[in-house]
Amino acid sequence: MPAGDSFFIATPIFYVNDVPHIGHAYTEVAADVLARWHRQRGDDAWLLTGTDEHGQKILRTATSNGVTPQEWADKLVTESWKPLLQTVDIRNDDFIRTTDARHEKGVQTFLQKLYDDGFIYQGEFEGFYCVGCEEYKQPGDLVDGTGPFEGQQVCAIHSKPVELLQESNYFFRMSDFEQRLLDLYEQQPDFVQPDTVRNEIVQFVKQGLRDLSISRQSFDWGVKVPWDEKHVVYVWFDALLNYITAIGYGVDDDEFDRRWPAVQLVGKDIARFHAVIWPAMLMAAGLPVPKNVFGHGWLLVGGEKMSKSKLTGIAPQQITDVFGSDAFRYYFMRAITFGQDGNFSWEDISARYQAELANGFGNLASRVVAMITRYFDGTVPVAGELTDADLAVRETEVRVTAAADAAIDRFAINEALSSIWELVDTLNGYITEQEPWALAKDESKRERLATVLATSLRGLGTLTVLLSPFIPTATTTLWQSIGQGELTSQPVDRAPEWSSAPEVQPLAAGLFPRIEQPEPAK
């Protein structure tokens, strides 16, 4: 077991009504970068992801496709959701499905506890429900419909009519937790991040919380309420529990105590479920609340929130087929301020691929390895006396390592990459100024040539370690050429301390090959 602190990070579990798009991949990549960084700094990191398979939305999709919901979920998980993890190179430690027996059992244990402790009661529910959101709506959440829904009230998110529900349901006493939640936001200001999302959550809770209907009787695709099997558990109540059923809640106390609480990374659309309902559920069960709930922004395409239903959905593979998984990961982590919305465009990813990955980093790697191969037969040269210029490179390595590490602790993933890129630019500038190709022509400058190439290689190795959580494929290739041991075992927070192999191996091809056609054929 790693000696470091527990760093349990979870993505939302995604609905299997449809295939993944780049919005889902974005959350996966961000969580994976954070997990890889922490793992590589020696923390006891654990990345959980998975799928949300119960509820009316999945039931209806399956029915309209003529299969059972279980068949539908199995197909989508096998053919689309698990393959997504390969497409964007996610190194998850677990994958939970809400139809797993371990999950269903854990949900029942949790629910029974809350029932026994008096946090659940039976009552009549009447209200509006949006199946797209799987959420009960207040009148203020609805807007006037347009087109085919003119004259009706529709969900503001899905632009479709809501359904009137009238059922006898079980309720969770969420209103009991209003003050405790407000105290939590106050006492732990970084509980909900970023501030924009935090403010919205605080405002929402200040308006007063109602008890939450947590069971349904009109269909049976869900976890059965243990003391009354005519009811199934409300899909959100069921889904949120995945974060603890995956780590042994109720069955493996050691594992649970080792991992919980988690860092919850979610899109801001579902921050409310994670920052209000979820901590209230945990408080009722006497469990610690999550460490943080970070609500990231939306990917926009042509200025609109990308979504399948609005036909702006882009499959991650459309991008990785052209640019590869590293470029996908790099682009979304670099181009978008984490926590804010960001627009995707083919022109932008193409420009960054060329300028930053191919010309900036890839070219630097090829040049340094090629010059050591050419001028020193591949043997790593030993630096002589260091000049101010050489020392400045080393100072930059140390400075950007600390800055990137601190940025990761603030969830400022794009800032971590900007800091690391200072080293790319510094090294490229250094090589241009030192002109090793000119030094190589003069035998009396041999020692200076050795120092310049040793300094360049040192910087390149530091970059390789720092970039490995972001672009694991290219950095692994480069590491095989210059490093020793496993790249993933290099402590990222002490990246400048890496050791090079005695000899570099030539790089067979550029790390980021030229792209002939930056956009897929329409």
Q: Does residue number 305 form part of the binding site for ligand ME8 (CB under 6 A)?
A: yes
CA 54 vs CA 60, 84, 309, 318: distances in Å = 11, 20, 20, 29
Asked about 268 being catalytic, the answer comes back as: no
CA 198 vs CA 11, 188, 241, 273, 275: distances in Å = 18, 11, 22, 13, 9
Which of 82, 113, 308, 445 does the annotation list as catalytic? 308
Which of 75, 82, 105, 305 does the annotation list as catalytic? 305
- Which residue, 137 or 448, has its beta carbon nearer to ligand ME8? 137
Give the 3-state secondary structure of residue 161. Answer: strand
Among 7, 8, 9, 13, binds ligand ME8 (CB under 6 A): 13
Among 7, 8, 9, 23, binds ligand ME8 (CB under 6 A): 23
- Which residue, 270 or 495, has its beta carbon nearer to ligand ME8? 270
Per-residue binding letters, 30-69, with ligand ME8 (x by CB under 6 A) = ----------------------x-----------------
Q: Cis before residue 261, ω within 30 degrees of 0? A: yes
- Which residue, 267 or 381, has its beta carbon nearer to ligand ME8? 267
- The distance of closest approach from Cβ of residue 285 to ligand ME8 in the complex, given in angstroms and rounded to an integer, is 16
List the 304-305 sheet strands across, edge first.
Answer: 304-305, 299-301, 342-344
Query: How many chain residues are in contact with ligand ME8, going by CB under 6 A?
Result: 20
Q: Around Cβ 218, how many Cβ atoms within 10 Å?
A: 10
- The distance of closest approach from Cβ of residue 272 to ligand ME8 in the complex, given in angstroms and rounded to an integer, is 11
Asked about 113 being catalytic, the answer comes back as: no
Of residues 413-472, those binding ligand ME8 (CB under 6 A): none
Whole-angstrom distance, CA of residue 476 vs CA of residue 426: 22
**Which of 239, 217, 242 minimizes the C-alpha distance to 230?**
217
Which of 155, 231, 268, 296 does the annotation list as catalytic? 155
Amino acid, single-letter form, for residue 295: G
Contacts of 272 (CB under 8 A, 6+ apart): 201, 204
- The distance of closest approach from Cβ of residue 308 to ligand ME8 in the complex, given in angstroms and rounded to an integer, is 9
Whole-angstrom distance, CA of residue 410 vs CA of residue 34: 11
Asked about 24 being catalytic, the answer comes back as: yes
Q: Does residue number 158 form part of the binding site for ligand ME8 (CB under 6 A)?
A: no
Four-CA torsion 305, 311, 316, 319, nearest 10 degrees:
-100
Among 7, 14, 72, 119, binds ligand ME8 (CB under 6 A): 14
Which of 57, 133, 137, 268 does the annotation list as catalytic? 133
Q: Does residue number 194 form part of the binding site for ligand ME8 (CB under 6 A)?
A: no
Asked if 281 contacts 142 with a C-beta cutoff of 8 angstroms, the reply is no
Which of 158, 160, 224, 445 does the annotation list as catalytic? 158
- Which residue, 27 or 475, has its beta carbon nearer to ligand ME8? 27
- The distance of closest approach from Cβ of residue 134 to ligand ME8 in the complex, given in angstroms and rounded to an integer, is 7
Strands 232-233 and 215-216: antiparallel
Of residues 239-258, those binding ligand ME8 (CB under 6 A): 239-240, 242
Q: Which stretch binds ligand ME8 (CB under 6 A): 10-18, 84-92, 217-225, 359-367?
A: 10-18
* SS3 per residue for 373-440: HHHHCCECCCCCCCCHHHHHHHHHHHHHHHHHHHHHHCCCHHHHHHHHHHHHHHHHHHHHHHCHHHHC
**Which of 77, 81, 87, 79 minimizes the C-alpha distance to 29?**
87
Among 8, 9, 24, 314, binds ligand ME8 (CB under 6 A): 24
- The distance of closest approach from Cβ of residue 380 to ligand ME8 in the complex, given in angstroms and rounded to an integer, is 43
Asked if 394 contacts 383 with a C-beta cutoff of 8 angstroms, the reply is no
Asked about 103 being catalytic, the answer comes back as: no
- Which residue, 270 or 407, has its beta carbon nearer to ligand ME8? 270
Amino acid, single-letter form, for residue 59: L
Asked if 99 contacts 55 with a C-beta cutoff of 8 angstroms, the reply is no
- Which residue, 23 or 461, has its beta carbon nearer to ligand ME8? 23
- Dihedral of CA 441/446/451/456: which sign? positive
Among 131, 192, 232, 306, binds ligand ME8 (CB under 6 A): 306
Alpha-helical runs (H) found in 211-291: 235-240, 242-245, 253-259, 271-272, 278-284
- Which residue, 29 or 420, has its beta carbon nearer to ligand ME8? 29
Among 8, 15, 177, 421, binds ligand ME8 (CB under 6 A): 15
- The distance of closest approach from Cβ of residue 261 to ligand ME8 in the complex, given in angstroms and rounded to an integer, is 15
- The distance of closest approach from Cβ of residue 325 to ligand ME8 in the complex, given in angstroms and rounded to an integer, is 18
Asked about 296 being catalytic, the answer comes back as: no
Per-residue binding letters, 262-301, with ligand ME8 (x by CB under 6 A) = ----xx-xx---------------------------xx--
Side-chain-side CA neighbours of residue 123 (13 Å): 14
Per-residue binding letters, 200-239, with ligand ME8 (x by CB under 6 A) = ---------------------------------------x
Asked about 155 being catalytic, the answer comes back as: yes
- Which residue, 213 or 366, has its beta carbon nearer to ligand ME8? 213
Asked if 52 contacts 235 with a C-beta cutoff of 8 angstroms, the reply is yes
Roughly how many angstroms between the first and final C-alpha of the chain, as a whole number? 49
Asked if 283 contacts 311 with a C-beta cutoff of 8 angstroms, the reply is no
Asked about 308 being catalytic, the answer comes back as: yes
| 13, β-bridge pairs | 50
- The distance of closest approach from Cβ of residue 432 to ligand ME8 in the complex, given in angstroms and rounded to an integer, is 39
Asked about 38 being catalytic, the answer comes back as: no
Catalytic positions are 21, 24, 130, 133, 155, 158, 305, 308
Summarize as ranges the residues that interact with ligand ME8 (CB under 6 A).
12-15, 23-24, 26-27, 52, 239-240, 242, 266-267, 269-270, 298-299, 305-306
